[in-house]
Amino acid sequence: MFSLPRLLLLAFLAAPAALAAGTPSPVPVAPTRVRRYAPVEDASSVFNPTGIVPRALAHNPAEARGLTNGQRLARGLPPRSPAFNTRRRALAPRQSASPCALSQATGTIRVADTNGAVLGYVSSSANEYGEYSLATDAAGALSVALRRCDSNDSPFDIEALNGLSTYPYLGGVVGFANTDDNLRAGSFNYVYIAGTSQVAHGPAQSAPNAFSAAAGTPKDVESAVWTLSGADALAFNWVNTDGSAAAGTLVYVPSSAAFTYTGDLAAFVATFGPATAVTFTFVDAAAPQ
C-alpha cells in the first residue's frame, strides 16, 4: 500500500510524460525561397529604395575632363580605362581584342523634350543612387567620350570624364522595382541611366555599378548601349534576355532627379508618377559653338 503523499508524488512526476505523449510533434516548415525579383506591394513608392542611407559615391572633379593619362596621374587621379571593342564576335586564332580605331569624340549631352524644347544637359553630378540627373546649363554638364569602335550604328560605350570615378561608363542598370531584366509593352520595368563598369554588348549581366554600390542591392547592367545618328542624336539600345532589342523611351523622373529608360511610358507613369519623355543629342566639343 502506498501512502497518500507518495501517491501524489508519483502522479506529479507522471504528468509531464502524459502531456508530452498527448502533444503532436511539430510539423517541419519548408524554408521560404528568396527570389531575386521580389513582388513589390507598393511599386509607386519604390522607383528607388526607401528607408536606407545610400553609400556615398565618388565623383571625378570637373577639371578632369579631357586630361591625358599623364595629366590625370599628376593630379592624383586614376588613368582612363582603355576603350576596347565590346561587340561580341568570334576572334580568329591568336587574335585578341584591340583598342577602338574610330575617333573618340568628346563633348556633352544636350537634353530636350519630344517637342524639341531644350531642358539642359546630362549633369556631371549623379543623385544619391548613382543615377545621372539634369543640369540646366552647360557649366554643370557631364563631359563624355564616345568610345566608338565599328560605326555610329554599332552600340558603343560612353565614358563619363567628370562623373562617377569608380563607375566611369554611362550605361543602364536594371530598376529596383523591376520584375525581371526585360523591357516590354504593358510593363513598368525600367533601366536607370547610371554609372557602370564596362561590359560586352548583349543582355544585361552582373557587373559593378553605382546603383548597387549605393543601395547594396545587386542589379544587372549593360554599358555598350548607345548609337549615334547623322544628326548627333543618341539612341539607347537595351537588349532583353532573349537577345531581342527592347523598344522604349528615355525619360526624366523629376521626383528622383534621374534619367531612365522604359519599355512602356504609360505603364511607367501610372506606376511611379510624372515623367518627361526626352531626347539626347551629342554636342561635340570640337564643333563650332
Would you state the torsion angle of the CA atoms of residues 32, 33, 34, 38, taken in this order, to the nearest 10 degrees?
-100
pLDDT, average across residues 7-11:
50
Q: Beta strand 276-284 with 233-236: parallel, antiparallel or unpaired? A: antiparallel
What single-letter amino acid sits at 220? Answer: D
Condensed to tens digits (0 to 9), the pLDDT of residues 231-278 reads 999 999 999 999 999 999 999 999 999 999 999 999 999 999 999 999
Confidence at 100, pLDDT banded by 50, 70, 90: low
Residue with the larger pLDDT of the pair 98 and 47: 47
pLDDT, average across residues 165-180:
97
User: How many other C-beta atoms can be found within 10 angstroms of the C-beta atom of residue 237?
Assistant: 19
Least confident segment among 4-8, 47-51, 72-76, 162-166: 72-76
226 forms beta bridges with 156, 236
The contacts of residue 143 (CB under 8 Å, 6+ apart) are 65, 66, 106, 107, 108, 124, 160, 161, 162, 285
The x, y and z cell numbers of residue 273, run together, are 508618377
d(CA 267, CA 108): 30
Tell me what percent of the residues of the chain surpass a pLDDT of 90.
65
Confidence at 150, pLDDT banded by 50, 70, 90: confident
pLDDT, average across residues 209-224:
97
pLDDT, average across residues 182-189:
97
d(CA 134, CA 119): 8
Which domains does the chain carry?
104-289 (2.80.10)
